[in-house]
Amino acid sequence: MKFLVFFDFKPETVAAAMQRPSDRAAVVGKLCEAVGGRLESYYWMFGEHDGLVIADLPDSSAAAAVSLAVTSSGAFSRL
């Protein structure tokens, strides 16, 4: 199943990323793989949201598990 998720970073997350860039897509990709899926796309955006992710995951339970793992980092204001 394909899932599209918009995300917004907290301001302090953006500031930290500018000082210490990292490959956030690789982190999300590993989380998707851990539940039997794969990251299809990871996009940055201008406008209402900071970005979006498209992932191919086995089911909604796998999508919820990835979402919980990502939000538990505390880096996001909205997911």
Separation of alpha carbons 25 and 55, rounded Å: 11
Provide the pLDDT for residue 36. 97
Token representation of residue 78: 């909205």
Name the percent of the chain lying above pLDDT 90: 52
**pLDDT confidence band for 17 (50 / 70 / 90):** confident
Contact partners, residue 15, CB within 8 Å, separation at least 6? none
Provide the pLDDT for residue 71. 84
- CATH code of the domain occupying 2-78: 3.30.1370
Cα within 13 Å of Cα(18), Cβ side:
7
**pLDDT confidence band for 37 (50 / 70 / 90):** very high
Token representation of residue 3: 């899932």
Separation of alpha carbons 76 and 79, rounded Å: 7
Average pLDDT over residues 50-62: 95
